[in-house]
Chain A
Amino acid sequence: MRREAGGRGDPIGLRGALADRLLVALIAAMALFAACAVAGQAAVSQLAQRWQQGANTAITVQIPNPSPARMEAALEALRALPAVREAREVDPARMAELLRPWLGDVAGLPLPGVIELRLADLAADPVLIGDKVAEAVPGAVTEAHGVFVARLAALARALSLAALGVVLLVAAVAASVVVIAVRAGIAARRDSVMVLHMLGAPDRDIARRFARRTSWLALLGGMLGVAVAIALLWALMQLAAPILPEIDWQDLPLPGLAAIPISAALIAWGATILSILLWLRRLP
């Protein structure tokens, strides 16, 4: 006796009704975008962290001939400024330690005193701060590279949030794609769905039949998209290797990437169940 292979699991005939290849391709494209966004978010987040550490000292002030009186005058002038949250003298021993790799033993050298500033407001103008301290202590030199780095770090954090936004947007688009595919599937198999309904199939049973199919296709699409993304990211890492020798494949956000196909399947499941149940509610 010849038996229909899909009879038990696919009475609605969804294998021919859901535009399988198109759905897999669209979900794969969404997964590729999401994977790039996740990888970008992870990279930018790491950079932001690194830059933020460098930006902890937003401004340094060098005081030539660092007598205790000059250092005290500089600290007093700086602490009086509202834009300065903290002004702290760098320990001369630590300075000598930092310079040792470049200058060797610096005990005999006339080094300037160094004051590290942490700003209350990163938008504060470092030139004005430099002018104030130079008024109090002639010859004082202000370096504000940290402000730039801090602003970069803030930008990186904003980019990181934007990447998360992209992931959410991609998820929403993927859900919409699934809903459109499901509606097309219902249109193509309306009679079969009606027959199941009138034979007494509960709504959730019909919805699950659609959801099993769409979530499987979304899982396939998600895996395909992530695989392509990993290949792309790998190629980018090879290109970046000469200037960033410390990065390797372990820097890829593998848990985040692995979560993409699973998330795609879950999104497809939820979007399908919801749209089918809403459609079936029109029936008595």
Chain B
Amino acid sequence: MVRFGRVGLAYPNPQGDPGQAALRDVSFALGEGSFTWLLGPSGAGKSSVLRLMQAAIRPTSGVVSVLGTDIGQAERAALPALRRKIGVVHQEFRLLPHLSAWDNVALPLRLAGRTEAAVRQDVNEILDWLSLAAKAGRNPAELSGGEQQRIAIARAIITRPALLIADEPTSELDVFEARRLIALFAEMNRLGTAIVVATHSEDLPARHPARVITLSEGRIIDAP
């Protein structure tokens, strides 16, 4: 499902030349329905790995294959369809501020061209599942951090993606909300979604044991 082969990544500097390497010689593979923790301190390269997985950037060297698409070689026009198959939860939620919670969740379905009737059914169902039906009409600014995070998750999973990526999803949440979020991820994983969660906290992998890939200074230092 996801394969990194000797991946190197260097973000361009302001002059457009390759800058300092963010990833060096990173290799691993994730299977369908897997649950993976991506561990490491800030600046270790976790977010870069996730950005490569969601085709937000291309590798400088090596091979990144996601859902059968070679991110480095794929035509630019082919990437939107790939992105629609991947759910992403960002640390800072990235909800559209002028849309209601309901419309934020509906966005991926509308982009996929689903009918409004189908959109209505799926959005209402997922908001019920996440106990957010009562808040559906509110804009993100009117919701708590935990509620915004759940809306972001609902938006990420509404299309039932094969792969869900989360970058520090609990950093803005209190302990109760963080536990609830991890339980939600576990439930989705049980239903067949492959999940990759980047975190700098070692408590979360302890609470939900799964495969852990540890990064430091752009290299994998531990990947069982």
A residues 226-284 near B (Cβ < 8 Å) are 281, 284
B76-97 interface (Cβ within 8 A of A): 76-77, 79-85, 88, 94, 96-97
- Complex: how many Å from CA A11 to CA B104? 8
A192 and B96 contact, Cβ closer than 8 Å, known pairs A200-B81, A284-B76: yes
For this complex, 27 residue pairs linking A to B, each with C-beta atoms less than 8 Å apart, are A2-B136, A2-B137, A2-B138, A3-B137, A4-B100, A6-B99, A7-B103, A8-B110, A11-B96, A11-B103, A13-B97, A13-B98, A13-B99, A192-B98, A194-B94, A195-B94, A196-B107, A198-B83, A199-B108, A199-B155, A200-B112, A201-B80, A201-B111, A205-B111, A281-B76, A284-B58, A284-B76
| B window 11-39: CB within 8 A of A | none
CB of A7 within 8 A of CB of B84, answer: no
CB pair B102–A202 under 8 Å, yes or no, is no
Would you call A4 and B108 a contact (CB within 8 A)?
Answer: no
Q: How far is the CA of A7 from the CA of B95 in the complex (A)?
A: 12
Q: Which of A192, A194, A200 contacts B108 (CB 8 A)?
A: A200
* Bound form: Cα–Cα A201–B80 in Å: 6
Total count of chain B residues near the partner, CB < 8 A: 36
- Of the listed stretches B49-57, B168-176, B180-188, B211-219, name the one at the interface; the rest are far from the partner chain: B49-57
Q: Which residues of A contact B60 (CB under 8 A)?
A: none
CB pair B80–A6 under 8 Å, yes or no, is no
Interface status of A121 (Cβ within 8 A of chain B): no
* Interface hub of B76, B80, B111, B139 (most chain A Cβ within 10 A): B80
Interface presence of B44 (CB below 8 A) = no
In the bound complex, residues from chain A placing their C-beta under 8 Å from that of B136 are: 1-3
- A143 close to B (CB within 8 Å): no
A199 to B86, CA, bound (A): 8
Whole-angstrom distance between the alpha carbons of A77 and B185 in the complex? 106
Q: How far is the CB of A204 from chain B (nearest CB, A)?
A: 10
Q: A4-B139, A284-B56 are in contact. Are A196 and B100 (CB under 8 A)?
A: no
Question: Contact partner of B80 among A1, A12, A200, A281, CB < 8 A?
Answer: A200
